[in-house]
Amino acid sequence: MKALITGATRGIGKNIAESLDAEIFAVGRNEKLLSNYKNYFVCDLAKQNELEELGNYIEKNKIDILINNAGEYVYSRIEDLNYTSIEHIVRVNLEAPLYLISKAVPYMKKKKWGRIINIGSISGVMGEACASTYSATKAGLIGTSKALALELAEFGITVNTINPGWVDTDMGNSSANDGDWSKTEIIECIPQKRFVTPNEITGMIKYLISDDARGVTGQSINLCAGLSVGY
């Protein structure tokens, strides 16, 4: 199996890349950090020419597990957004995953097997005040997974979205600090009173790529320490 992971230099993506039992193809913007991997590709997903080159890389290497993990978070009131910031986050969080899937699917169809996992967010399930662009793009990944699960089911390809809640990573902690509440206050609103760990997300991915999960497709899986259930 050949697994390509975007956003593989830190946080969730790094944990996945270091733990998955597959040949890893790591993607990110920081070549120094990527050079720790045998196979890597430097790419800014917001830049069309680099994204297209990454698409060619996927085709060339016959990727059969695609994990769209890279994403960007913006905390902003709606009236403070501008066209450039909206366009950027939509490109990175939604357009890039769709494009990369389009390049991976032909080989998966030929093989009659493939796994596509999109890393969404609980914010795409519940919504998040002052994070409308982030919530919108993550909700878009859920819709993408449902539609493609139907389209690709007959080819042995599964497509699912994992929606983490607050995760104990640099991005998760900095996002907590960017908002109006402190991390301590956020934890008090989480039923399990904790952030989830990257290992939990990687564990779910390991299951989803296994043959035991071949019947799991089109699902939106909330891995959020109970945050989506209520408070």
In order, the DSSP letters of 15-73 are HHHHH-SSEEEEEES-HHHHTTSSEEEE--TTSHHHHHHHHHHHHHHT--EEEE-----
Query: Which residues 6+ apart lie within 8 Å of 169 measured at CB?
Result: 10, 11, 12, 198
- The crossing angle, in degrees rounded to 10, of helices 96-111 and 48-61 is 10
* pLDDT in 10s for each residue of the chain, 231 residues: 999 999 999 999 999 999 999 999 999 999 999 999 999 999 999 999 999 999 999 999 999 999 999 999 988 999 999 999 999 999 999 999 999 999 999 999 999 999 999 999 999 999 889 999 999 999 999 999 999 999 999 999 999 999 999 998 866 666 666 556 678 888 888 899 999 999 999 999 999 999 999 999 999 999 998 988 876
Rounded Cα gap, residues 84 and 166, in angstroms: 27
Q: What is the DSSP letter of 224?
A: S
Residue type, 146: K
Catalytic site includes residue 134: yes
Q: What domains does the chain contain, in order, with CATH numbers? A: 2-167+197-223 (3.40.50.720)
Residue type, 194: R
Question: Which residue among 40, 57, 134, 231 is the active-site one?
Answer: 134
Instruction: Read off the pTM.
Output: 0.93
CB 215 within 8 A of CB 182: no
Q: In 10 A of CB 219, how many CB atoms?
A: 17
